[in-house]
Structure formats: C-alpha cells, structure tokens
C-alpha cells in the first residue's frame, strides 16, 4: 500500500476508505488490548497505577518503533496530538483505578460499551456527521441500558463505575480525534506519541499513586508489564490504522468484542462472573449500537444513490 507519511507539517493525507480491512484490523486490535488489560489488572496490586503507566509507555513506544521500523513517527498536528494523548492518559488512570479497586474486567468492558454510542453523538460536532432521529432514539435507548447496568444496589453501583463512565466519555473523544488526526499524521505517529505521554504522566503521578511494592517487581510481574506495553503499542498502532481507512460509525460497534474477551479472561484468571443486570444492560447498549450501524449503512447507500442519479442521462453515461 502507498506510504501515507506526510511531507510538510500540516499537509493533509487522503483518507482512503477500506471498511472491511478496517474492521478486521480493529477486531485484532481489541483482542490484543483485552490480553494487555488482563495483564495489567493482574500486575496492578504489586506496582500501582503510576508505575504501570510508565511501563506501558516505555514498552508501547518500543513496540511501535519496531513495527514502523522507526519511520513516520514525526508528529504533524502537535497541539491536537498532545491533547489527545493527555486525555488518553486520564482514561488509563480511570481504568487502572477501577481495576486496582476490584472492578471485574468484564464489568469494566460493559461500561465501556457506552463508548460507541458516545462516538455517534460526538461525531456530530467534531466530524460534522449527520445523525437522524432513528439513530438518536436508539442512542437514547442505549444510554438507558447503561442505567440498567448502574442501577442502585447492583454490583456496578459503586464510585469506580461512575469514574469509569467519565473516562469512557473521554475515550470516545480520543477515538474521534484519531480519525481527525489521520488526515495529517501517520498511524504510527498517533500511536507512538500516545504511549510516549504515558511516561511523563506516570512519573508525574508517582506522588499521588506511589508504588505498592518494590521498584523492581518480581520477574512474573515484569514479564506481565512488558507484555502489557508491547501489546498496547501494537493495539494502538492497529487502532490508528483502522480509523485511518474506515469511518468511525463502521468501526465503533466492534468495541463490543472486548466484552467477549473480557468475560473469557476474567473467568479464567479471576473466576469473575458478571451480574444479570450488567449483562442485560450491556445487551441493550450493544443492540442500540448495532442498530446505529445499520442506520449508518442505509444512510450511506441513500447518499451514494443520490450522488449517482444526476449522472444518469449525461452524455457518455450509457443510458
């Protein structure tokens, strides 16, 4: 495939549409990120939030540098890239705090299922996408599913889930900005600088989240943290690539595949089983997200048909 590296700073890169490949890439990325999340959740009680962020950043940058062979890492839209990276650090802190306080992996992914719905709403002001009343209604129904998961007295009725929902809102913004940045920056640059930001942010947060164990953890935890960083770097490289070649609305529903991976890994490692209201609410959220995808496909077909109509009857059109 042609090199997408921009020449001069700020020069726009063509956003090619290859939806099928984008879906395949992002599904692989979500499978990898689920394994990385399981690794960090297992290691967090020994190292703490800030140290885990530093490890994630160091090994993540290494993974991206190896995957890209050091090419295309120069940032173009530096202010937006820096802001996106810092916002994603806040998302990382939210997830790590939730996990270190015992929130099950599958439950955190159930809350994260609201991200595609938020992306549908945020794509209106941030990308100028049009969303009809049907998709807005299904999005509202999806948020009702979030309320089912967070019902008072349920297993998810805890401050960690509320904090995580705020983090997921920021995550939706970073996903949108990935698409925006793809017009000027390469996928490897977007992913590299995101992981780079985790190192200084993790070091700055050490007084707030001090190490929970020795500075040099056991070799098992060290291996887990190395896998975390390498997997995160690879996954974010894939995410950036997927959003560069496929529309947000087509990729957003595949965030739900993490629910499957989270359920499997959570049960195998910690024997975690989600509560019934978590599963029921997640089912509503997923159904709403899939309906939004269906409506987006219909809207796209209608737009393509409307564009093709004026060409009919033109000289040389064959009609």
DSSP string, 250-286: HHGGGGGHHHHHHHHHHHHHH-----HHHHHHHHHHH
Least confident stretch, 39-48, 126-135, 255-264: 126-135
Task: With a cut of 60, say whether residue 2 has pLDDT above it.
Answer: no
Tell me, yes or no, whether 314 lies in a domain. Answer: no
Q: How many domains does the chain have?
A: 1
Q: Which residue has the higher pLDDT, 8 or 253?
A: 253
Task: With a cut of 50, say whether residue 13 has pLDDT above it.
Answer: no
CB of 76 closer than 8 Å to CB of 189:
yes
Tell me, yes or no, whether 96 lies in a domain. Answer: yes
Tell me, yes or no, whether 1 lies in a domain. Answer: no
Least confident stretch, 57-61, 87-91, 186-190, 278-282: 278-282
Average pLDDT, the chain: 82
- Residue keyed to tokens 């989270």: 262
Task: Please write the tens of the pLDDT for every residue from 126-157.
Answer: 777 777 777 778 778 877 888 788 776 677 87
Q: What is the pLDDT of residue 314?
A: 52
Task: With a cut of 90, say whether residue 200 has pLDDT above it.
Answer: yes
Q: What is the mean pLDDT of residues 281-288?
A: 83
CB of 218 closer than 8 Å to CB of 181:
no
Task: Please write the tens of the pLDDT for every residue from 287-306.
Answer: 887 787 777 777 777 777 77
Give residue 47's domain range.
19-301
Tell me, yes or no, whether 316 lies in a domain. Answer: no
C-alpha distances in Å from residue 144, one per residue of 127, 222, 259, 278 = 25, 41, 18, 12
Q: Which residue has the higher pLDDT, 67 or 302?
A: 67
Cα separation, 149 vs 280, in Å, equals 7
Q: What is the pLDDT of residue 315?
A: 52
Mention every residue, 6+ apart, whose C-beta is less than 8 A from residue 80. 177, 180, 181
Tell me, yes or no, whether 123 lies in a domain. Answer: yes
pLDDT category at 15 given cuts 50, 70, 90 is very low
Q: Which residue has the higher pLDDT, 118 or 57?
A: 57
Angle (CA) 22-28-33 rounded to 5° is 120
Task: With a cut of 50, say whether residue 112 has pLDDT above it.
Answer: yes
Q: What is the pLDDT of residue 204?
A: 96
pLDDT category at 311 given cuts 50, 70, 90 is low
Most confident of the ranges 11-15, 26-30, 135-139: 26-30
Q: What is the mean pLDDT of residues 254-280?
A: 86
Task: With a cut of 70, say whether residue 228 has pLDDT above it.
Answer: yes
Helix or strand holding residue 133 (H, E): helix 133-149
**What one-character DSSP code corresponds to residue 12?**
P
Q: What is the pLDDT of residue 17?
A: 63
Asked whether the CA dihedral 97, 103, 104, 105 is positive or negative, the reply is negative
CB of 162 closer than 8 Å to CB of 136:
no
């Amino acid at each position: 495939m042609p090199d997408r590296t921009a020449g001069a700073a700020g020069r726009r890169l063509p956003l090619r549409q290859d939806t099928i490949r984008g879906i395949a890439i992002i599904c692989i990325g979500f499978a990898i990120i689920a394994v990385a999340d399981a690794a960090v959740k297992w290691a967090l009680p020994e190292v703490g939030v800030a140290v885990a962020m530093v490890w994630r950043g160091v090994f993540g940058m290494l993974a991206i540098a190896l995957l890209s062979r050091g090419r295309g890492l120069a940032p173009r839209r530096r202010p937006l890239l820096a802001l996106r990276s810092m916002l994603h650090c806040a998302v990382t802190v939210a997830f790590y705090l939730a996990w270190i306080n015992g929130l099950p992996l599958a439950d955190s992914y159930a809350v994260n299922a609201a991200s595609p719905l938020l992306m549908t709403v945020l794509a209106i002001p941030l990308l100028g996408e049009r969303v009809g009343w049907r998709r807005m209604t299904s999005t509202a129904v999806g948020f009702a599913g979030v309320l089912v998961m967070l019902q008072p007295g349920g297993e998810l009725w805890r401050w960690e889930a509320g904090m995580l929902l705020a983090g997921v809102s920021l995550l939706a913004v970073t996903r949108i900005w990935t698409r925006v940045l793809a017009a000027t920056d390469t996928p490897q640059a977007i992913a590299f600088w995101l992981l780079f930001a985790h190192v200084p942010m993790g070091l700055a947060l050490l007084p707030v989240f001090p190490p929970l164990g020795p500075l040099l953890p056991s070799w098992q935890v060290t291996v887990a943290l190395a896998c975390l960083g390498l997997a995160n770097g690879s996954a974010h490289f894939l995410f950036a690539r997927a959003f560069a070649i496929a529309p947000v609305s087509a990729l957003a529903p595949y965030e739900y595949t993490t629910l499957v991976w989270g359920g499997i890994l959570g049960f195998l490692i910690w024997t975690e089983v989600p509560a019934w209201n978590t599963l029921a609410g997640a089912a509503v959220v997923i159904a709403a997200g899939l309906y939004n995808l269906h409506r987006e496909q219909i809207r796209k077909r209608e737009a393509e048909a409307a564009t093709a109509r004026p060409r009919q009857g033109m000289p040389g059109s064959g009609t």
